[in-house]
A and B are shown apart, each in its own frame.
Chain A
């Protein structure tokens, strides 16, 4: 069910005119309407106030690395969050599916932003309702921005991961963690240093974090995630043993790491 949506978003990118920096509020609202329709067809997308918030800097300091944070407020059970960067060539940056070990406190990641654009985080509740939070971000050029790191160095550590779990509980029984994945996440818009040809797209398609039998989250990703994706999340004491992370990229390469969960300090 999700793949057709991705496809729809990809098709949409071909059909819609490219967003421009000088696009006005009306044009941005129209873009969001079209995008909403492509993603959710005729389903109603409600105002997310009281359900979901989206934080992002008003002006990005680095268009290739724009930190965003989604907060899910208590009261509704959200099973999925869609992250959309409306003006990007492929607007759907990621779809988070949550499992029983996920704590909906806050969730952060980093995205590329290609134009002055609206961003949306859409929460889908267990009973199938949709709630959207919106932000406007001033940034440009993030999709074709050259990778910051030395490409040779970056290739050496491709697929490496780090996971850090905060020593103490962050709130209640939930614990905060940060996952870093070394991956160029090439979106096919960067140019090779030697050949001057476009580097073929090689990007992360899926990041799945589980503990024992319990899913924390499964992120279906796309080319709008930053190079070296980073995800901060909270998990509940459901499931046992280490946190398992499985990353699949668009070349079908699979990277798997298990991380012991350190004992709580208190």
Chain B
């Protein structure tokens, strides 16, 4: 290594945090809440993606260990991810070792490219690469049309795949990762921080914002029961408040999903068609959720085509 390139190398490493701040001068951190020791959460707003909100609609978390940081969902757009990264750097300079992609939906994972400079392991369900291959480009185009190509960024393929379970070691703190069978989607991950008894449920848990079904209704109800058995006292939902007492906070969602299942099964038993089901099923829940009219009909359609083959 000649002197000049050595110098450049030193500058590059020593100046990196500063350089990043400069490079992202326009990127301001957003406020986050420390819901348990070393666990910081940004609340997503209960809207759909828009140019005004940069798709910052999902809850995003980071967890600080003794040696490293894990990000649990990097954000809904590159801009959202850059802000999350700025928020992390406002709190800690430890390396970002893991970026968890909880499932394929863009509001959770399109911020991943903001973390490429950190060279983390991108953690995903074993079925996530397939889903990204199928949907990623479509999601990118759609998001770019809403925000901008630059702000949308691109999806990042996971390089640490979880088929059943995995552990993420942050130094003195381990996060256990579970890859779920088909529930909210067919590629959901949840994480448990045993140290603080905190469950990162991602979109297996919606609070306040109506759940969206893109997997299996009975499967989701089954996974809720499984999660309820975990030794967790606090849960971070994919959408809703930054954290809530577990398992009490899943009751509303469980009731909504069980209502869909019960009413759709009854309609199928008496030979009603899918259009009638869309009009009537779940209406008792209408006033209990935000964005209900935007998602309930879709949920009923997805569940109907699954349940009619039971």
Contact = CB atoms under 8 A, between A and B. Distances in A.
Contacts of B133: 191, 196
A191 B134 contact: yes
A190 B134 contact: yes
Contact of B301 (A61, A108, A157): A61
Interface string A190-215: 11011010000000000000000000
Contacts of B216: 150
Interface residues of A, number: 30
Contact of B309 (A65, A228, A232): A228
Contact of B305 (A69, A148, A191, A232): A148
Contacts of B182: 150
A256 interface: no
A184 interface: no
B127 interface: yes
B271 A146 contact: no
Contacts of A228: 305, 309
Interface stretch (B76-84, B171-179, B225-233, B273-281): B273-281
B305 A178 contact: no
Residue of A108, A157, A193, A228 ringed by the most chain B CB atoms within 10 A: A193
B135 interface: yes
Contacts of B275: 57, 67, 69
A47 B298 CA distance: 33
Contacts of B273: 67, 108, 178, 232
B15 to A, nearest CB: 40
Nearest to A108: B273
Interface string A129-171: 0000000000001001010111000000100000010100000
A151 to B, nearest CB: 9
A180 B309 CA distance: 9
B186 interface: yes
Nearest to B129: A196
Nearest to A66: B301
B138 A193 contact: no
A178 B130 contact: no
Contacts of A166: 271
A57 B301 CA distance: 12
A191 B138 CA distance: 14
A62 B275 CA distance: 12
A65 B301 contact: yes
A77 interface: no
A110 B302 CA distance: 13
B186 A157 contact: no
Contacts of B34: none
B67 interface: no
B75 interface: no
A190 B133 CA distance: 10
A254 to B, nearest CB: 21
Given A144-B134, A146-B134, 16 more contacts: A61-B297, A62-B298, A65-B301, A65-B305, A110-B274, A148-B302, A148-B306, A149-B306, A178-B271, A180-B309, A191-B134, A193-B130, A194-B130, A196-B130, A230-B308, A232-B273
Interface of A: 57, 61-62, 65, 67, 69, 108, 110, 141, 144, 146, 148-150, 157, 164, 166, 176, 178, 180, 182, 190-191, 193-194, 196, 227-228, 230, 232
8 contacts: A61-B297, A65-B305, A141-B138, A144-B138, A148-B305, A176-B271, A178-B273, A191-B133
Interface of B: 127, 129-131, 133-135, 138, 182, 186, 216, 271, 273-275, 278, 297-298, 300-302, 305-306, 308-309
